[in-house]
Amino acid sequence: MEKKFINPPTLSTPRGYSQIVTVQGGKTIFVAGQVATDAKGEVVGKGDLALQAKQAYGNLKTALEAAGAKPSDVVKMNTYIVNLKSQDLFAIRDARAGIYPQENPPASTLVGVTALAQPDFLIEVEAVAMIE
């Protein structure tokens, strides 16, 4: 399997993600949106985006491992934040830094939303990974 992470010079150089990722061969893994719940389904970090981000990304890592993948196998990721503000980027970057490699991070989209599935959820992350 071959993965290419591309940041062409004609696009701005992103911080913490890649503009384009191509993959040839391998197995595709789709991970549903992960939120800040523990194994019992209870919300972790009510009202605290930083704690919820850490839990949601941790849940994503757990889901990837269950499918035989690791964070470095993620090629595309979407993050949804309730009432997104510019200062929220720090909490997201900190949570991601503990999981994703600095080199060749996945293609990524960050979206501000008005609500998620439950009122206590502040973040949801979903991913597509590729393994051999």
Closest CA to 3 of 30, 33, 27: 27
β pairing state of 74-82 and 20-24:
unpaired
List all residues 6 or more positions away from 128 whose beta carbon is below 8 Å from its beta carbon.
Answer: 28, 29, 30, 31, 74, 75, 76, 77
Average pLDDT rounded to a whole number, residues 7-35: 92
At 9, list the tokens. 């010079």
Helices (H), the chain: 49-66, 88-97
Decide the pairing of beta strands 27-34 and 123-131: antiparallel
Which residue ranges form the domains of the chain, and what is each CATH number?
Answer: 2-131 (3.30.1330.40)
| Strand 20-24, strand 27-34: pairing | unpaired
pLDDT for res 15: 81
pLDDT digits (tens, 9 = 90+) for 73-128: 999 999 999 999 999 999 999 998 878 777 888 999 999 999 999 999 999 999 99
